[in-house]
């Protein structure tokens, strides 16, 4: 069954909804008009000149919509939409759908169930009860509490496909993203998307252009290899954009998807059913990945953290590309061996940075808000440590920010007062925004600066090399990162 991409339209006026449907048409196979958002609802113009088959919905608050009028009027409006030519009307299983089915042909009815809190206990029983209605399409959308909930959706779709039923099933929320991307593979008859460049209309929904261009949803097949960015949370991650651009440029049939795992075991359960060939690992799972790996690179072993996993002959191999990713941009400019460096932060990234600098012979002083963590990190690599309050008194050639301070959406913050930027080089690991407040202030004080984007790119290029055996084509991942930055900045 070919999966249709359905773009949901939520606009406050009829005119804006018509205009949005026109913008959606080039990307969508089918368009859903959420009429409960329209304050001056005029059904005729909405449907008269439609460019794509159209689903008409009028959802109540409890179903995620805005409608709070009488139920009879709601059903009458849905009926009127069907009479005016809506290809489908979507009515909730918890509502009086029987009344609607008395007047609207079953082949034009979508019966839907939404659960914004959790995945229902018995999905199969729910689907069977909904199926008894005879509605043409059954839709179940429920919130994923863990990655394993995606597997339940996959199982439900498999059963539905065997019975020949047209079913759209998906898991909502960021943990449910795999179901929105892999739904077509599992047999979902539709996958919902937002307008390109617009706001998501549902929790975890991706814009249609991202689904089509970055996740190649129209080409995905059983032979497509899966890779993942694994972490929690993952909302800020730009890894899917750059890695998917590289896979596409190589002509490799592979996609990298976000796996926001509730626990490391949750990831392992997902992997057991939907094997991934490799993963970019981020907070808080770098140490779990280190324990999982059967073999380790020297950097992974020495830092005790794995940011890259790959399957080699069925066994996990762990690498830490942050170490080389940090050093490359630095080495392009200076010889790090003689530097006196101050590293802010004592987390996973700081660990890779301190190891990298010490391996080059640089002197390092770790400064963290938690003095105990600074002492422990410094002790592990024969470095020094100092209290945060002494930051202004320290002399340095290189200052490295390895804290998240200054990262979007709190881009107006900086970890150190501008007046204390008295050294030569400032390297900020934060890569979103492209130029942080720290880097702007450092440049203003005459320091040379290095942005986290350069490290992000260097470590990601090494991940690609490890996964595919050859370096990625030049410029592709860089261009994808620039596009992703622009898209983040444009978001209202």
> Is 162 annotated as catalytic?
no
- Long-range contacts (CB closer than 8 Å, 24 or more residues apart) made by 439-443: 441/414, 442/399
Give the angle subtended at the CA of 68 by the CAs of 67 and 69, to the nearest 5°: 100
Q: Which is nearer to ligand NAP, 65 or 325 (CB)?
A: 325
Q: Which stretch binds ligand NAP (CB under 6 A): 74-82, 190-198, 398-406, 482-490?
A: 398-406
Phi, psi for residue 4 in degrees, rounded to 5: -95, 140
> Among residues 286, 338, 373, 462, which one is catalytic?
286
As beta bridge partners, residue 57 has: 34, 90
For residue 438, give every residue at least 6 positions away whose Cβ sits within 8 Å of its Cβ, in sequence order, or none: 401, 405, 406, 414, 415, 416, 426, 428, 430
- Residue 456 lies near ligand NAP (rule: CB under 6 A): yes
- Residue 283 lies near ligand NAP (rule: CB under 6 A): yes
- Residue 375 lies near ligand NAP (rule: CB under 6 A): no
Which of 98, 94, 149 is closest to 121 using CA atoms? Answer: 149
Which of 171, 164, 205 is closest to 9 using CA atoms? Answer: 205
- Residue 452 lies near ligand NAP (rule: CB under 6 A): yes
Binding mask 419-438 for ligand NAP (x = CB under 6 A): ----------xxx-------
Measured CA to CA, the distance from residue 358 to residue 341 in angstroms comes to 10
- Residue 285 lies near ligand NAP (rule: CB under 6 A): no
- Residue 407 lies near ligand NAP (rule: CB under 6 A): yes
As beta bridge partners, residue 138 has: 111, 167
- Residue 373 lies near ligand NAP (rule: CB under 6 A): yes
Q: Can you tell me which of 35, 126, 230, 350 binds ligand NAP, judged by CB under 6 A?
A: 350
Strand order in the sheet with 225-231: 254-260, 225-231, 278-281, 308-312, 315-319, 295-296
Q: Which is nearer to ligand NAP, 108 or 369 (CB)?
A: 369
- Residue 240 lies near ligand NAP (rule: CB under 6 A): no
Measured CA to CA, the distance from residue 31 to residue 21 in angstroms comes to 7
Q: Which stretch binds ligand NAP (CB under 6 A): 17-25, 147-155, 217-225, 450-458?
A: 450-458
- Residue 369 lies near ligand NAP (rule: CB under 6 A): yes
Find the binding residues for ligand NAP in span 457-476 (CB under 6 A): 459
CA-to-CA separations, 424 to 90, 104, 128, in angstroms, rounded: 63, 73, 68
Q: Can you tell me which of 347, 423, 433, 472 binds ligand NAP, judged by CB under 6 A?
A: 347
Binding site for ligand NAP (CB under 6 A): 283, 322, 325, 345-350, 368-370, 373, 402-405, 407, 415, 429-431, 452, 455-456, 459
Q: What are the catalytic residues?
A: 286
């Amino acid at each position: 069954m070919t999966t249709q991409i359905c773009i949901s339209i939520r606009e406050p006026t009829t005119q804006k909804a018509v205009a949005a449907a026109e913008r959606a048409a080039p990307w969508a196979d089918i368009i859903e008009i959420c009429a409960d958002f329209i304050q001056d609802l005029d059904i005729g113009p909405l449907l008269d000149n439609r460019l794509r088959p159209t689903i008409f919905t009028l959802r109540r608050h409890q179903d995620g919509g805005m409608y709070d009028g009488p139920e009879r009027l709601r059903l009458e409006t849905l009926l009127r939409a069907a009479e005016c030519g809506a290809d489908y009307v979507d009515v909730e299983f918890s509502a009086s759908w029987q009344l609607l089915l008395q007047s609207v042909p079953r082949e034009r009815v979508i019966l839907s169930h939404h659960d914004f809190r959790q995945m229902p206990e018995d999905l199969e029983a729910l689907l069977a009860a909904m199926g008894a209605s005879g509605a043409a399409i059954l839709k179940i959308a429920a919130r994923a509490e863990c990655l394993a909930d995606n597997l339940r959706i996959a199982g439900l779709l498999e059963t539905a496909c065997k019975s020949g039923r047209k079913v759209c099933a998906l898991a909502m929320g960021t943990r449910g993203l795999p179901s929105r991307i892999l739904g077509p593979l599992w047999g979902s008859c539709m996958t919902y998307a937002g307008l390109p460049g617009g706001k998501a209309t549902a929790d975890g929904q991706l814009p249609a252009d991202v689904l089509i261009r970055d996740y190649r949803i129209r080409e995905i097949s059983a032979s497509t290899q899966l890779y993942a960015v694994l972490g929690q949370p993952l909302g800020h991650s730009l890894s899917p954009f750059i890695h998917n651009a590289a896979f596409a440029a190589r002509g490799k049939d592979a996609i990298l998807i976000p796996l926001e795992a509730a626990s490391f075991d949750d990831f392992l359960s997902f992997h057991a059913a939907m094997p991934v060939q490799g993963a970019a690992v981020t907070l808080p799972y770098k140490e779990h990945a280190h324990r999982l790996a059967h073999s380790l690179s020297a950097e992974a072993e020495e830092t005790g953290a794995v940011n890259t996993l790959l399957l080699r002959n069925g066994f996990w191999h762990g690498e830490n590309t942050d170490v080389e990713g940090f050093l490359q941009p630095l080495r392009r400019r200076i010889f790090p061996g003689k530097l006196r460096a101050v590293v802010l932060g004592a987390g996973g990234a700081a660990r890779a940075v301190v190891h990298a600098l010490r391996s080059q012979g640089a002197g390092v002083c770790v400064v963290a808000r938690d003095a105990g963590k600074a002492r422990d990190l410094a002790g592990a690599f024969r470095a020094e440590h100092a209290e945060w309050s002494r930051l202004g008194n320290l002399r340095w050639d290189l200052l490295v920010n390895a804290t998240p301070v200054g990262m979007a959406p709190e881009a107006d913050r900086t970890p150190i007062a501008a007046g204390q930027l008295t050294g030569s080089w400032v390297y900020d690991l934060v890569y979103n925004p492209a130029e942080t407040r720290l880097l702007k202030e450092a440049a203003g004080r005459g320091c040379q600066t290095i942005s986290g984007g350069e490290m992000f790119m260097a470590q990601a290029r090494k991940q690609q090399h490890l996964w595919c055996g050859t370096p990625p084509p030049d410029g592709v991942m860089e261009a994808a990162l620039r596009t992703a930055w622009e898209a983040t900045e444009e978001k209202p």
